[in-house]
Amino acid sequence: MSQLINTIKHLINISEDEEAIVKSLFKPLELKAGDFFVEEGQVCRYVGFIEKGLVRYYMNDDGNHKTLYFNNEDEFISNYQSFIPRKPSNTNIQAIEDTRLQVISFENLQRLYVTVHEGEKLGRLGIESVFINSLEQLKSFYRDSPAERYRQFLQAYPHLAQRIPQYYIASYVGIKPQSLSRIRKRLVSKTG
């Protein structure tokens, strides 16, 4: 819980009483590698904070999994398109590794907004971050080559490249694993 409180303190000011409120509203959740935080067709019921572990967001396109995003330690996760309007999710969030989270339900998040002085600011900052990241990723997909998207992935997630299976990275970049292997070989030969 201390990781969550420290992350919140980097975003907003909270008193000791408000810390106690936050602690009472979040609950622990453990996911094994392969477990789902939310599956396509289900309503996303939580916003989670990852204490330890790694997840990927993906959509199913006629049997092909298209990876959209990754989250790891000290980051918040949710499918906001499902969570906020309380509609079935069109994407999946799946643990890549055993993952330990603190989660808050929709109802408890509303309580946090009302009872923590800067609670609504916390929610706004979270949604703004998701929005900006989504726009940057969409722009990159249309503007940049697969090699450039892979370089951007390495810059954005340098500490995750060894933790994520290559076929998930290829899916995130928007190419087949064989093409990613060729790009990686070219990058190594340029730096070697």
**Contact in structure between 49 and 102 (CB atoms under 8 Å):** yes
pLDDT in tens, the chain (192 residues): 899 999 999 999 999 999 999 999 999 999 999 999 999 999 999 999 999 999 999 999 888 899 998 999 999 999 999 999 999 999 999 999 999 999 999 999 999 999 999 999 999 998 888 888 888 888 888 899 998 999 988 888 888 888 999 999 999 998 998 998 899 888 777 765
Amino acid at 40: E
83-116-80 Cα angle (round to 5):
15
The domain limits of the chain are 2-143, 144-192
For tokens 């303190």, what's the residue? 9
pTM: 0.90
Q: Using an 8 Å Cβ cutoff, are 94 and 55 in contact?
A: yes
Enclosing H/E stretch for 37: strand 36-38
How far is 23 from 1, CA to CA, in rounded Å?
7
Q: Which CATH architecture has domain 2-143?
A: Sandwich (2.60)
Residue 129's closest CA among 6, 14, 25, 7?
7
